[in-house]
Amino acid sequence: MSLSRRTFLVTTGATGLSLALTGRAEALHSVQAGPSTGYGPLVPDPAGVLDLPKGFRYQVLSREGDRLLSGQGVVPGSHDGMGSFDARRGAKHSRTHLVRNHENYPDAVHTVPTDGLRTTYDPGAGGGTTNLVLDASLRPREEYVSLGGTAINCSGGHTPWHTWLTCEETEGRAGTNGYTKDHGWIFEVDPFDNRRNADPVPLKDMGRFMHEAVAVDPRKGVVYETEDAFSGAPLGSFYRFLPERPCGGHGSLRAGGTLQAMHAPGLSDMSLVREPGTTFKGVEWFDVPDPTAATTPVRAQDYAKPIVRGQKLEGCWWGDVDGCVYFVSSFARPKDGSAATHDGQVWKYDPRRRELTLEIIFNGTDADDTYECPDNICMSPYGGLMMCEDSSGENYLLGTTRDGEPFTFARNRQELSPGETGELSGVSFSADGKTLFFNVYTPGTTFAVTGPWRRHG
């Protein structure tokens, strides 16, 4: 159920991992294909919080249950996807803005505050987002609710106009779980001006389903969406949204558009693909008959041809240089409805060539649970991919080298029970590349990590 270093190299294929995962380079041996090695062994943290390589240090920015700096209540729990944004041009101070998801279920201990706040969508739901504003020394100066009353906000993605799309991973209906409105939508959150976050509007044309993450093509404005359907038939799919006002700025997605599901000739269940480099040509997209899923879930509706199916389609990221979108299947298990087993896949879709390619597959042994179950992902400005694990046992933040080897960059030491730690999530770099931000899901903790990033680059 895990990925040893040797197995990882075998299953990425002989061409290596640089082209597969960097998203920052178009050539196999580009200098931005990833560091030549990892950053060294992890040094045990005397505080028992987070192990990092020598020379790196962490700051805890925010913890679940602490008081929000805004005075609106306490920091909500279930820290998941997160986006980082540089200070606006012309700003008087050098600051970083974070938008953090809270994947709260109805029984969450620390829900997102809603009382009297205009950022509330449905008072019956406990999820949403909070914003942090950090000064040049990474000290939190502001922390406030930017969206409340949404449900199970899992991950999301940046837009080219510097807002955050937060995604509900649910299909909950009004009248269930205390909800007063239907859920399963995407919402847009402004990192800079909370007045724009008043009176939240669900982006209904983008679909109502178990959303995970999104990635936006900055040239054409197409939004790619993953569906985290954990089990059952049918499994989830991969979608794209064609907006009426592509790249139109804040609020432009409210103008609507067309949601489409992917068909790849010869591909039914993604778990059946075992060889990295396997490519499916001639990808087609078919309109979703009813994006709001009024009577039938989006993934179960009728399409002209069979759409691609995969279990736990999660992290999603746009490759700036190669113009491709990368997305993850966290794992696959036949008992949950998949046709085959794997411990993680990374796929690449090339919209210009209309090609879908399996770039990596995790097939490990039970002897080592270090490498498995990738979830949130981001491309590193130093090359390679950073991957958050969401698995049983210990959870790590992983990186990749230019030769296709994985390495551990961080280990969560906050035990929930003996041998069990919470998943890592919400990974992204600051605009200048000097700081890596990420969360631990439980207990909800937001970290900033700095150090000698170029040491082995």
3-state secondary structure of 10: helix
Given a cut of 50, whether residue 234 has pLDDT beyond it is: yes
**Lookup: tokens for 8:** 């990882």
Q: What is the dihedral of CA 74, 77, 82, 88, to 10 degrees?
A: 0
Q: Residue with structure tokens 């990192």? A: 191
Q: How confident is the model at residue 449 (pLDDT cuts 50, 70, 90)?
A: very high
How confident is the model at residue 35, as a pLDDT? 78
The DSSP bridge pattern shows strands 50-53 and 42-43 to be antiparallel
Given a cut of 90, whether residue 272 has pLDDT beyond it is: yes
For range 276-301, the mean pLDDT:
97
Please choose, from the candidates 225, 223, 159, the residue with its C-alpha nearest in 3D space to the C-alpha of residue 191.
159
Residue pair 217/346 in contact by the 8 Å Cβ criterion = no
How confident is the model at residue 295, as a pLDDT? 96
3-state secondary structure of 224: strand
How confident is the model at residue 368, as a pLDDT? 61
Given a cut of 70, whether residue 224 has pLDDT beyond it is: yes
Residue pair 420/436 in contact by the 8 Å Cβ criterion = no
How confident is the model at residue 404, as a pLDDT? 64
For range 323-335, the mean pLDDT:
95
How confident is the model at residue 454, as a pLDDT? 79
Q: Measured between alpha carbons, how far is 208 from 212 in angstroms, rounded to an integer? A: 12
The pLDDT > 90 percentage for the chain reads 80
Looking at the structure of the chain, the number of domains it has is 1
Given a cut of 70, whether residue 13 has pLDDT beyond it is: no
Given a cut of 50, whether residue 31 has pLDDT beyond it is: no
Given a cut of 60, whether residue 20 has pLDDT beyond it is: no
How confident is the model at residue 235, as a pLDDT? 95
**Lookup: tokens for 239:** 């979608």
Q: How confident is the model at residue 33 (pLDDT cuts 50, 70, 90)?
A: low
User: Strand locations in 48-204, DSSP E?
Assistant: 50-53, 57-63, 79-86, 96-102, 127-134, 140-150, 153-158, 164-168, 186-189
Task: State the DSSP code for 44.
Answer: P
Given a cut of 70, whether residue 17 has pLDDT beyond it is: no
Q: How confident is the model at residue 8 (pLDDT cuts 50, 70, 90)?
A: very low
How confident is the model at residue 6, as a pLDDT? 28
pLDDT in tens, 166-192: 999 999 999 999 999 999 999 999 999
How confident is the model at residue 370, as a pLDDT? 81
- 294 lies in some domain: no
DSSP H stretches of helix in 246-391: none
How confident is the model at residue 24, as a pLDDT? 24
> Exposed (0-12), middle (13-18) or buried (19+): which is 63, by Cβ within 10 Å?
middle
For range 255-269, the mean pLDDT:
98
User: From edge to edge, which strands make up the β-sheet containing 96-102?
Assistant: 79-86, 96-102, 127-134, 140-150
For range 230-249, the mean pLDDT:
94
- 183 lies in some domain: no
Given a cut of 90, whether residue 142 has pLDDT beyond it is: yes
Given a cut of 70, whether residue 2 has pLDDT beyond it is: no
Among 13-17, 27-31, 64-68, 113-117, which is the least confidently predicted range?
27-31
Please choose, from the candidates 83, 191, 81, the residue with its C-alpha nearest in 3D space to the C-alpha of residue 133.
191
**Lookup: tokens for 398:** 């992983």
- 110 lies in some domain: yes
Tell me which of 8 and 449 has the higher pLDDT: 449
- 120 lies in some domain: yes
Given a cut of 60, whether residue 236 has pLDDT beyond it is: yes
Given a cut of 60, whether residue 245 has pLDDT beyond it is: yes
How confident is the model at residue 3, as a pLDDT? 33
How confident is the model at residue 75, as a pLDDT? 98
Please choose, from the candidates 397, 233, 220, the residue with its C-alpha nearest in 3D space to the C-alpha of residue 318.
220
- 148 lies in some domain: yes
Task: State the DSSP code for 310.
Answer: B
pLDDT in tens, 42-55: 999 999 999 999 99
Q: Measured between alpha carbons, how far is 5 from 417 in angstroms, rounded to an integer? A: 27
| CB environment 29-62: b (16+ within 10 A), e (fewer) | ebebbbbeebbbebeeeeeeebbbbeebebeebb
How confident is the model at residue 105, as a pLDDT? 92
For range 393-415, the mean pLDDT:
89
Q: Residue with structure tokens 């390589």? A: 53
How confident is the model at residue 239, as a pLDDT? 98
- 274 lies in some domain: no
- 163 lies in some domain: yes
Please choose, from the candidates 181, 189, 110, 123, the residue with its C-alpha nearest in 3D space to the C-alpha of residue 156.
189
- 152 lies in some domain: yes
Amino acid at 321: V
Where in the sequence is the domain holding 116, given as residue range(s)?
A: 66-171
